[in-house]
């Protein structure tokens, strides 16, 4: 612990050689079976190697740490070590590897966030159950008191009626107070959930801004397009969390309004408002967040592809989006009146968006049909018991 503290101090004042020295001494005397302490030391080594610009050393130590993490399944370090790898690869200008580990960091950071949220909710449920039990015991005591009181004053009818009336009033007052407290706690819990969604939305906006800043320095057009596509994917998830904290129902998303907002954001990002019109031809439909997020990502990819490839050379057109429940399933219909796609036409772009659509369709236990006639027409069918 003393060596760790010294290493941390020297790291703070950017004396990285001394910090490395004390971390390595700490590692030498640490029991190798104490895996969590070993992880703490290697975590610190990653930080000082990043600060010193020794990216290859950072990658070596982080990869050793990842092997230990995968054995112990320690979700805390799973949310940190991939970030060090991403920053190290970025420093070496190996951006594909950096992007890969940053995605892993996002996934496990979200898992850590979800685990903390579930723990807080479970604590609230236990507290509510305890208060409910205490209320029941209090009511049982009151009922016993009523029985004893009635037995004692049977000879005085007027006194019994008066006592009953007073106790009845007192009980009503207690119940009214309890109901008010429960309503207040429910409002507090709802406010807490809305704040969580608000913070998630703000974090996604920050990620989108960081991607935008990074893409501004990219000279390769394909790389900029990939970064723009990533911005739109982050935006599609951010809109969902925005709808949750702004709406009255914290458990579901109204999909028509969501698709309208998503379409406006995509058109704005491609500066295509005057060229392409997106129509949401559907009734109001509410879905839970676990279904709305992958559906939003699918529609985001399809609209992006339509704007980029269906209307070349300034051609104007219309894209229609529809989502409805039909015979125990969710049916998603996306069609455009663009140039369509020939059977022998080579794949355009990186192909990642198409792969993502197929993966999300499989995740929702769905099937996709494609027709290239008078434009492009894509029809998805998702089993309702899985997708909604």
**99 or 150: which leads in pLDDT:** 99
CA distances from 242 to 131, 201, 208, 265 (A): 33, 6, 14, 14
The span from the CA of 7 to the CA of 43, in Å, is: 12
The rounded distance, in Å, linking the Cα atoms of 23 and 15 is 13
pLDDT confidence tier of residue 193, bands split at 50, 70 and 90:
low
pLDDT greater than 60 at residue 45? yes
- Find out whether 198 and 248 touch, Cβ atoms under 8 Å: no
Q: What is the pLDDT of residue 121?
A: 43
Question: How far is residue 242's CA from residue 296's CA, in Å, rounded to a whole number?
Answer: 13
Asked if the model's pLDDT at residue 221 lies above 90, the reply is no
Q: Choose the final residue of a domain: 74, 109, 144.
A: 109
Q: What's residue 120's pLDDT?
A: 46
Q: Comparing C-alpha atoms, which of 310, 379, 318 is closest to residue 345? A: 310
Q: Does residue 381 or residue 384 have the better pLDDT? A: 381
Q: Exposed, middle or buried: residue 68 (CB in 10 Å: 0-12, 13-18, 19+)?
A: middle
Cα–Cα–Cα angle for 66, 70, 75, rounded to 5 degrees: 90
Three-state SS annotation for 334-369: EEECCCCCCCCCCCCCCCHHHHHHHHHHHHCCEEEE
Residue 126 vs residue 49, higher pLDDT: 49
Please tell me the pTM assigned to this model.
0.49
Higher per-residue confidence, 18 vs 130? 18
Q: What is the pLDDT of residues 302-329, one digit of tens each?
A: 998 888 888 888 789 999 999 999 888 9
Average pLDDT, the chain: 80
Note whether residue 133 is domain-resident: no
CA distances from 156 to 142, 152, 163, 169, 345 (A): 21, 9, 11, 20, 99
Contact (Cβ atoms closer than 8 angstroms) between residue 329 and residue 381: yes
Q: Is 224 left (phi over 0), alpha (psi -120 to 50) or beta?
A: alpha
| Domain ranges, residue 362 | 251-388
Going by their DSSP bridges, the two strands 366-371 and 286-287 should be labelled as unpaired
Q: Is residue 157 part of a domain?
A: no
Does a structural domain hold residue 22? yes
Cα separation, 274 vs 317, whole angstroms: 10
Q: Please tell me the distance from the alpha carbon of residue 372 to that of residue 306, in angstroms, as a whole number.
A: 12
Q: What count of other Cβ atoms lies within 10 Å of the Cβ of residue 375? A: 20
Non-local CB neighbours of 177 within 8 Å, separated by 6+ positions: none
Q: At 343, which CATH number?
A: 3.30.565.10
**Domains in the chain: how many in total?**
2
Single residue among 40, 74, 109 that ends a domain in this structure = 109
Report if residue 342 sits inside a domain: yes
- Which of 58, 79, 109 represents a domain boundary (last residue)? 109
Tell me, yes or no, whether 172 lies in a domain. no
CATH number of the domain bearing residue 87: 1.25.40.10
Q: What torsion, rounded to 10 degrees, do the Cα atoms 190, 193, 199, 200 define? A: -140
- Is 165 part of a structural domain of the chain? no
Angle between helices 221-246 and 157-216 (to 10 degrees): 170
Q: Which of 181-190, 255-264, 274-283 has the lowest mean pLDDT?
A: 181-190
**Residue 56 belongs to some domain of the structure:** yes
Q: What is the pLDDT of residue 342?
A: 58
DSSP 93-110: T-HHHHHHHHHHHHHHHH
What pLDDT does residue 128 have? Answer: 45
Q: How far is CA 131 from the centre of its chain?
A: 32
Is 283 within the bounds of a domain?
Answer: yes
Tokens describing residue 150: 């009635």
């Amino acid at each position: 612990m003393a060596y760790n503290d010294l290493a941390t101090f020297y790291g703070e004042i950017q004396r990285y050689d001394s910090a490395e020295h004390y971390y390595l001494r700490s590692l030498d005397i640490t029991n190798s079976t104490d895996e969590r302490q070993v992880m703490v030391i290697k975590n610190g080594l990653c930080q000082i190697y990043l600060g010193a610009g020794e990216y290859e050393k950072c990658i070596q130590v982080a990869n050793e740490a990842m092997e230990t993490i995968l054995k112990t399944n320690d979700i805390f370090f799973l949310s940190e070590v991939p970030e060090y790898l991403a920053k190290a690869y970025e420093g070496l200008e190996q951006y594909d590897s950096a992007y890969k580990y940053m995605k892993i960091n996002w996934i496990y950071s979200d898992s850590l966030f979800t685990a903390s949220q579930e723990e807080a909710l479970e604590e609230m449920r236990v507290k509510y159950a305890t208060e409910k039990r205490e209320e029941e015991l209090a009511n049982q005591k009151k009922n016993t008191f009523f029985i004893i009181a009635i037995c004692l004053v049977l000879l005085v009818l007027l006194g019994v009626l008066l006592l009953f009336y007073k106790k009845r009033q007192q009980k009503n007052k207690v119940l009214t107070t309890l109901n008010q407290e429960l309503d207040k706690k429910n409002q507090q819990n709802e406010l807490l959930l809305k704040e969580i969604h608000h913070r998630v939305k703000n974090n996604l906006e920050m990620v989108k801004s960081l991607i935008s800043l990074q893409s501004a320095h990219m000279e390769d057009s394909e790389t900029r397009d990939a970064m723009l596509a990533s911005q739109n994917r982050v935006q599609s998830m951010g809109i969902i969390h925005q709808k949750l904290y702004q709406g009255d129902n914290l458990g579901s998303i109204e999909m028509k309004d969501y698709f309208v907002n998503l379409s406006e954001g995509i058109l704005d990002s491609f500066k295509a408002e005057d060229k392409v019109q997106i129509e949401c031809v559907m009734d109001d439909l509410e879905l839970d967040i676990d279904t709305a997020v992958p559906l939003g990502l699918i529609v985001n990819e399809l609209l992006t592809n339509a704007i980029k490839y269906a209307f070349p050379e300034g051609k104007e057109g219309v894209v229609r989006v529809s989502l409805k429940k039909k015979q125990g399933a969710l049916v998603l219909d996306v069609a455009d009146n663009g140039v369509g796609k020939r059977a022998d036409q080579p794949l355009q772009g990186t192909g990642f968006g198409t792969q993502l659509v197929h993966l999300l369709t499989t995740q929702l236990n769905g099937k996709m049909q494609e027709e290239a006639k008078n434009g492009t027409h894509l029809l998805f069918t998702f089993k309702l018991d899985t997708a909604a």
